[in-house]
Structure 1
Amino acid sequence: MSIPEVLSISELREHLADAMTQVRGPSGSPVYAGRHRRAEVVLLSADRYAQLLADERRAAVAGAIGSTRAEGLQLSEVGEAVMREVADGDLTYDEARARLLAHYRR
């Protein structure tokens, strides 16, 4: 991946309003900044950041389900439902763990 342009920190400070317009715009392209023109930080829209987190969460859940199936195991209906809620962002990993432990301790 090539980084198009890296602003210095002073340039970012000076052009912050423009940078925010760029990340929120139709293309939503990120703005890179750092010392000595080396990318150290990335400015993204909040929506894009949330999407990246959601993609990462879905990939982690898909990986966990895949690992389970690779071991020759099948998730229960409750397990599948909980994993879907985690993937959708409706449950944290800790909440999912607590729900599953409560279910299987009955």
Structure 2
Amino acid sequence: MSIPEVLSISELREHLADAMTQARSSSGRPVFAGRHRRAEVVLLSADRYAQLLADERRSAVADAIGSTRAEGLELSEFGEAVMREVADGTLSFDEARTRLLTHYRR
């Protein structure tokens, strides 16, 4: 992986439209900027950012399921459905926790 170019803050200000075009392009290359040419911020397209969040959410769900199985347990059908909703982004982790605790405390 090559080291990305890091724009100074003044260069980013001066070329913001170009930087946004680069971030939104089909390659989706992020734009790095910072003081003294040290990367401090990253400009990403909103779509790429949403994709990164979704990837992180799916990874967290997979880790949680893996931890459950490592303990010799299996998720119930209800538990799997809740975890799928979390992975899909239609349910937050806090909402899932509340739903699961309510369900299993019955």
Q: Output the TM-score relative to the length of structure 2.
A: 0.96
Q: Deviations over 1:32-85 (max 9, x none)?
A: 000000011000000000000000010010001001001100111111100010
SS in 2 for 1:42: strand
Gaps of 5+ in 1: none
Structure-2 residue corresponding to 1:46: 46
Gaps of 5+ in 2: none
C-alpha displacement at 1:2, in angstroms? Answer: 3.6
C-alpha displacement at 1:91, in angstroms? Answer: 0.3
* 1:15-54 to 2 correspondences below 5 Å: 15-54=15-54
C-alpha displacement at 1:102, in angstroms? Answer: 1.6
- What amino acid sits opposite 1:27 in the alignment? S
Q: Deviations over 1:12-46 (max 9, x none)?
A: 00000000000001111100000000011000000
Percentage identity across aligned positions?
A: 87
* 1:61-100 to 2 correspondences below 5 Å: 61-100=61-100
Q: Do residues 102 (structure 1) and 96 (structure 2) align?
A: no
Q: Deviations over 1:80-103 (max 9, x none)?
A: 100010011010011001111121
C-alpha displacement at 1:4, in angstroms? Answer: 1.8
Q: Output the TM-score relative to the length of structure 1.
A: 0.96
C-alpha displacement at 1:105, in angstroms? Answer: 2.2
SS in 1 for 2:32: strand
Distance 1:3 1:94 in 2: 38
* 1:53-64 to 2 correspondences below 5 Å: 53-64=53-64
Distance 1:46 1:105 in 2: 39
Corresponding pairs, count: 106
Distance 2:54 2:25 in 1: 21
SS in 1 for 2:69: helix
- What amino acid sits opposite 1:35 in the alignment? R
